[in-house]
Amino acid sequence: MLKKTLFFLALCPTQLPKYTTTQLTSLVVLRILIGWHFLYEGIVKVLNPYWSSAAFLLETKGIFSGLATSIVASPAALGIIDFLNMWGLIVIGLGLIAGCLTRIASISGIALLFFYYVFNPPLIGYTYSTPVEGSYLIVNKNLIEMCALFVLTIFPTGTTVGLDRLIFLKKKPE
């Protein structure tokens, strides 16, 4: 059962995608770049003993602000969120670069970025005191990276170039 689920997540659609070399290369490069970004963001947080998502959560605007406040108010919840965040970023980054369980990594990445986006949405009327390096109107880099990961989910490359090829291809039904 677990195998089947993993198989589905990693290979759906089960057909080996057919891309031209240029298409494949650009998709793999995009995957590696996003993976690199995730991996470094995660490592930086793990290496900083004082890092916490509290500052980000306290900035939350909109419908999730109540939830964010509850998380910050509870040291246990904050600890869990911090842990998931740090290690989630690292694992997703490793997965994307190596092409290992690529589809799971992409979908988890989308979920993580979705939370970043909805907790601090750059909507009209919301201002944040966290410094940002650009100017955003509704669309910010989280949203774009999220969409890029969505593209990678529906145009999978892990089974062509990536560890998924070794993990899943041999067992692929002929």
Partner 1 sequence: MNQKKNKKSSDKPGKKSAKKKKLTGKISKKPAKKEKLIDKISKKLAKKEEQISLGKEKTFKIEKANGMADEKPTKKEDVNLERRDILKGLATIPVFGPFLYAFLKKKLSDDFKRKEILAELGISKKAPAVLPKTDLKKPRELIRLGIIGFGGRGEALVHAAGFAHPDWIERKKKQAKDNKLNKGLETFLAQEDLNIALTGVCDVFDVRAERGIAASKNDIRPGGGSGLLKGARRYINYQDLIQSNDVDAVIIATPDHWHAQMTIDAVNAGKHVYCEKCMTRTIDETFKITEAVKNTGRVFQLGHQGRQQDSYIKAKQIAEKNILGKITLVETTTNRNSPDGAWVHEIHDEGSPETIDWEQFQGAAPNKAPFSLERFFRWPCWFDYGTGLSGNLLSHEYDAVNQILELGIPKSVVASGGIYFFQDGRDVPDVFQAVYEYPDRDLTFIYSATLASGRKRGKIFMGHDASMEVGSSLTVTADWESTRYKEKIMNNIINTSLPLFTYQPGLKDIDTVTSATERYFATRGLMYTLRGGRRVNTTHLHIKEWLDCIRNGGQTSCNIDRGFEEAITCHMATISYLEGRKVEWDPLDKKIV
List residues near partner 1 by CB under 8 A: 28, 31-32, 35-36, 39-40, 43, 47, 50-52, 54-55, 58, 69-70, 72-75, 78, 97-99, 129-131, 160-166, 169-170
Closest distance of CB 157 from partner 1, Å: 9
Q: Which residue has the tokens 């916490």?
A: 52
For partner 1, the closer CB: 82 or 145:
82
Phi-psi region of 101 (alpha: psi -120 to 50; beta: other; left: phi over 0): left
Closest distance of CB 121 from partner 1, Å: 20
Closest distance of CB 71 from partner 1, Å: 9
Q: What DSSP line would sit under 91-148, residue for residue?
A: HHHHHHHHTSSHHHHHHHHHHHHHHHHHHS---TT---SS--SS--BSB-HHHHHHHH
Closest distance of CB 10 from partner 1, Å: 13
Q: What DSSP line would sit under 117-129, residue for residue?
A: HHHS---TT---S
